[in-house]
Structure 1
Amino acid sequence: MAEIIIEHVTKTFGAFTAVDDIDMTFEDGEVACLLGPSGCGKTTLMRMLSGLETPTKGRVIFGGRDVTRLPPRKRNVGMVFQYPVMYPTLSVFENLELPMRYDRSVARDERRRRVDEILDVLDIRHLSKAFIEELDAGTRQKVAVGRAVVRQSEIVLFDEPTTNVEVNAKLQLIRAFKTVTSRLKQTIVYVTHDQTEAMTLADRIALMRSGRIVQYDRPQVLYGEPTTEFGGWFLGNPGMNFVPATVSGGTISAPILARPLPAPGDLRGDRIAVGIRPELVRMAGIAGPDSVPAKLVDQAIGIAGRYLTKAAIGDTVVKVNTKGRPPAKLGETVHLSVPRERLMLFADGDRVPARFS
């Protein structure tokens, strides 16, 4: 059992709070990503899991064992960092084998079997006799990943291992990582600021902001059902639209709406907004049911034949992700409509439970 329990963990540096009262559980055998912008506290939390930092308050528990004040060597975890320490005088095979050499519980034949398995999983068997200095950065990180998991520690920690790898090698490394995690069933915590990595790799994502966990759930839930404006903005390229709204007489009005929405009876907040993903906004060249006129003010070619556009309804700019070329030229009028059942309501930055039709 390799469940990780974080009990009300706080880490302060003088007057600065880097991690603020985090209370959560990473389930046994899952891949969990800590995702968030620079400075949100994800690396500090990772360092407390590894034993490189000690919490100011709270406890860290691995598989029922309190490891809060144990040094890294007594936690039995594998770790991969942005700049892994490799041994240039050893071959790839020897670098992979090294963590097990001084473990008397692992026989020589078992060591070699494990290394052979990792070489095959990572598709680097042809490099087993190569020295580290002969490898590019992406392949070195593959070896670092292999060395972290080959010990078969129940827990493996990754701190932004692809940050310093060029794009093509990064994609290969992510594919290799996905293969490793699906095969070895270890509990993995992976730190990244790259949402594509997190959405690709994670069973669940812990979205962090200002030292706190904003939301912890499966990737599709974080994207489709954000609980905060921050979550809707941070996930997605581009992020969610948040259209300012007003509440009057039991209804909600906003520039994107052709008809008002019913307001929940307990709606409170100084700042109300209607949220909608850019790919859900419909853009047409002619008026249609429940559409509103807008001026096309910007467009850029995206990927897979999509266009990222912006249309202004008065002072409100709406992002639209369209299939194919927009139905008008810049400066011309387009007509926007939204599926009311996909709209989300936010008050002072937090999601308000509401469904519309």
Structure 2
Amino acid sequence: MWTKLAFFLLLLLLPLPTTAVSFTKDCVDPTNGSSLRFNFYETVCPAAEAIIFAGVVRAVSAEPRMAASLLRLHFHDCFVNASSKFEGCDASLLLDDTDRFVGEKTAAPNVNSVRGFNVIDGIKAELEAACPGAVSCADVLAVAARDAVLLLGGPTWQVETGRKDGLTANKSAAESNIPAPTSGLSALTQKFRNVGLSQKDMVVLSGAHTIGKARCTTFSSRFGASSSGSSDRRFLDSLQQLCGSGTNDTLAALDLVTPSTFDNQYYVNLLSGDGLLPSDEALMDANAGEVEGLVAAYATDVDAFFRDFGEAMVRMGRLAAPPGRGGEVRRCCRVVNA
């Protein structure tokens, strides 16, 4: 892991573009209908991943919480499935509302939750200065998520690239498909299966909650009930003291032990009854079966968690629109090209 990090840090020594960006040129589509692959930008934009990494370094150095936010952007983007019009990882989440559609930023799972749009805007501007029309916003999200995890001590993995950016967004699909923080085990499992991911993928990707924060409103429903499952009553009492009535936007760390380190502490917390969200505690449901076994395995074997997390991120990153749906490489991630 540290060898890879050292390599990326060396890339930061390369000169990066600082000139203003012009969006007057027609967009060039480098994907040409091809499937995802590793090193997609090796010839069309060799500095792409170095530019993205540098932008993530700046953002996370200024605010460590931004690492979790960038990871969440990629996850919430990929999970949008509009029935037969599957969208997947197409940067639809980044689109602002227009007179033609209401975007996904104001969908219930995203409003007051997803953030980091300005970070992506800055990275995209540098990419446009270096390689106009070459690197898609969807690929920026995928690579930035990987780099954010790495910077907080987590694993790294090769990111497949070559995605196209979607031409529209779908608020209702985002509200229907993104797992809610109040979801139970069966609902979580079904949400993942709906997009072709397994229950194991659900458990390992839930481990992303080892970093980041959540508002009191997302877990205050747990306060009134007696301790259920493996919940620690003292843990819930401490949260209620932090949140008060639970109707405010006070933030609590998803992992109170190592909140700014990407590790396997999330699973250790679950075994101790210290999962924050109802959806976290759901993994320790009395009927969890194999799920609880995975939690125990990841709690004791960080290498297994890191390996499986990287593999699951690659699988999630393959969620994409079917061939023929069209798409483009946006010049600005917030709007489709004119």
Q: TM-score, normalised by structure 1?
A: 0.28
Q: TM-score, normalised by structure 2?
A: 0.29
Relative to its length, the structure with more strand (as a share) is 1
Greater RCO, 1 or 2 (C-alpha within 8 Å, sep 6+): 2
